[in-house]
Each structure stands twice: as C-alpha cells, then as structure tokens.
Homo-oligomer: A and B are copies of this chain.
Amino acid sequence: MWETGVTQILRKWREQGHTRLDCAKIVSTRTSRGGLDQWRWTVPTSANRSVSVKDVAAAAGVSLGTVSNVLNKPDRVSEATRQRVLAAMTDLGFVRNESARQLRSGVSRTLAYLMLDASNPFFTDVAAGIETEAETHGLTVVLCNSGSRGAREQAHLELFEQQRVQGLLVTPVDPDSPTLDAVARRGTPVVIVDRTRDDDSLCSVAVDDVLGGRIGIEHLLDRGHRRVAFIGGPADLGQVRDRLEGARSAWSDAGLDPEDLLTLRTEDLRVADGREAGQRLVGLPASRRPTAAFCVNDLIALGLLQQITQAGLRTPDDLAILGYDDIDYAAAAAVPLSSVRQPRQQLGRTAADLAMTEAAGGPHTHRRVLFTPELVARASTLG
C-alpha cells in the first residue's frame, strides 16, 4: 500500500516536471476507503498575485464593499474614507480587473469594429468616426483587421462575441454571411458598415453605390467622354456590382452604345491592381483606347495613374481618371484625382450610434441607413 502511494505521487510529480522528491512536502490524507492510498503535497508557488480590492480594503481598514463603492458610486461614501481608500489604491498599485468587473456587472464598456482592410485609409476614417461617437458615450473602441480573409474575420467575430462587446460593427467580406445573423440572434448588436443586405435582417449603414456609379458616369459624360472604361473587381463584390450598375444605367440613359462602356476586371482593390489594369489599358491600340477611366476606388485609380504616367500617357489629356472614396491621398496625387466622395466619418458615427441604441435595449427594429455620395472634381478629369 505504501508502494502504491509513492508510485502515484512520483507519477504526478514527474508530470509536473519535478525531478527531485522532497519528502518534507508530502502530507498524508485519509480517504473513504480508510487506507493511506491518497496523497497531497504542496509546491512552492511564486506568490505573484496581483493586488485586489480585498487588499485595498485591508490596507484602508474598510470593507471590500466600500472599496467597490469608491470605484462605482463615489457619492455614497464619505469624503474621509474615500481619500483613505484612494490613497491605499495608489500605494498598492491597484488595477481594477476588467474581467471580474464585466463578469459580475454583465456590462462591457467597449465597442468593436472589425475592419476589412486596415491599410485602406477609407476604413481608418470610418474608424475615426466611430471613435468620436463612442467617446461621447464613454465607450472605448477596439479595432481588428480581417484583411479580407474570411477565416480571420470569423475568428475575430467569435472573440468579440465571447468578450460580450456592447456592439459589433463590421465591414464583412460577405455581408450575407450567416455568421453575422447567428451572432446577432444570440444577443450581440451587429451593425454592417459600408455594405448592405437586400433584406432588413440587420442594421446597416452604407452609401448609395448605385447612385455613386451614376454620378461618376454623368460627370464623365459632361466632360465629353464617349468611350469609357469601368475598372474594378472582384465582380461578386457588392460595391463593384452596384457602382457598375449605376454606371451602366446612366450610360444607357444617355442613349449610348453599351459596347463603349468597357469593363476591366481586377483581382482586388489595391494599388497594385490599378497598375496592372493600367498595363492592359496602355496595351490597347490608341483608336480603341477609352478616353476616361472610372475606377471603383481611389487605390486602383492611383495605381492606374502611376502606370499610365510611366508609359508616357498624360492625364487627363490622354486618359481622364475618376476615382472613388476621395481619400486624402487622392488630392495629393501627381495629378490631383477627381473622386466620388463618401461621408466616411459620418458613416462611422452613425454606425456607432445605431449599435449603441440597439445595445441600450428597448424595442428595436433594424434600420438601413443610406448616405448620398458626392462628386469632387479635380485636375484628373478637368484638365
């Protein structure tokens, strides 16, 4: 029986990575079986526990509840003890444990924004809008970046839900993803940013992309262009689809031949894709080459501008360029870029607002907010 005990101890001991057995640490306990076949021992613990309200209470000579009151309802505690508690806190280096706070109170103080692409200034501007709105309500915003990757988006969504954030703003890879519905159904307010759904199953804030496409083409028509390229992709992206739809309808409304509205697809929406599109455009014989390009976002427009400039073409004389988003760098480009501007900051502010009102409880019906884009004409189309 003694053997058994020792064997068991040694196994566990080894499992825990110990190499030497210190018998002084072994203490016997009795079991229901009546024998000495179970053992317990202590290991030296690196007593690095952090300071808790309990410690503060002890140091200040008050009860634990009073410390909590100092933190949460300062007016309920007399000035003298308040000072004493505050002093104890700084003395001991007390840091409130947010996990415990949130677990007990059930309320989180953060709003989350899951960005599609943090390197695109459009989304950081939206984020800035969210931040300003959240700040006025005393919430902090945490940002995450999916980088257009579904798996990462999924992982971030899960973590945010587990963290019980107050609201979850997201520019999703696919706005129709059922994951979003699942999250919302389980109780986290979800707001789709810069995308929409056809139904009203979730709150969303976006800009009227069909109208934006129309505005862009109308501007180019005004400037006399009759052979235009629409550059953008991927084809299944809602933004691209809608803007193209608007462009096409404006084009046909003007009674022009659909053939003359060339569509150039790109892999993605980055500067590199614009350069690549530029190469294809430059490769066309001058007679068939469009006189203007309407890019589905500014990054593509910038890449295009750079590429065709390198190839010796001039903007807007040889090729007028119209972008979309009006990011700060658009105005600072080699040839200041005309662009369709979206109210980015307001997009963020409104989204945050929707999330917070939904989180506040009360009767809620999902809202779909649609902003109107506006044309900003600069040298790249004016000449």
Contacts and interface: CB of A to CB of B under 8 A. Distances in A.
A271 interface: yes
Given A118-B124, A119-B128, A145-B128, A162 B96 contact: yes
B302 A332 contact: yes
A187 interface: yes
A28 interface: no
A262 B86 CA distance: 52
A50 B141 CA distance: 24
Contact of A145 (B131, B329, B333, B334): B131
Contacts of A163: 98-99
A375 interface: no
Given A103-B100, A124-B118, A186 B144 contact: no
A143 interface: yes
A143 B142 contact: yes
A374 interface: no
B335 A306 contact: no
Interface string A312-341: 000000000000000011011111100000
A331 B274 CA distance: 13
A121 interface: yes
Interface stretch (A73-81, A153-161, A166-174, A249-257): A153-161
Contacts of A128: 118-119, 145, 147
A93 interface: yes
Nearest to A141: B144
Nearest to A144: B142
A95 interface: yes
A135 B97 CA distance: 25
A127 interface: yes
Interface in A127-142: 127-128, 131, 135, 140-142
- Identify the interface centre among A96, A124, A305: most chain B CB within 10 Å of its CB: A124
A109 B127 CA distance: 23
B144 A159 contact: no
A326 to B, nearest CB: 13
Pairs A-B, 8 closest by C-beta atoms: A334-B334, A98-B162, A143-B143, A99-B103, A142-B142, A302-B332, A99-B102, A99-B99
Interface of A: 48, 50, 93, 95-103, 109-110, 118-119, 121, 124-125, 127-128, 131, 135, 140-145, 147, 152, 155-156, 159, 161-164, 182, 185-187, 271, 302-303, 305-306, 328-329, 331-336
Given A101-B162, A124-B124, A305-B332, 4 more contacts: A97-B103, A118-B143, A143-B144, A329-B329
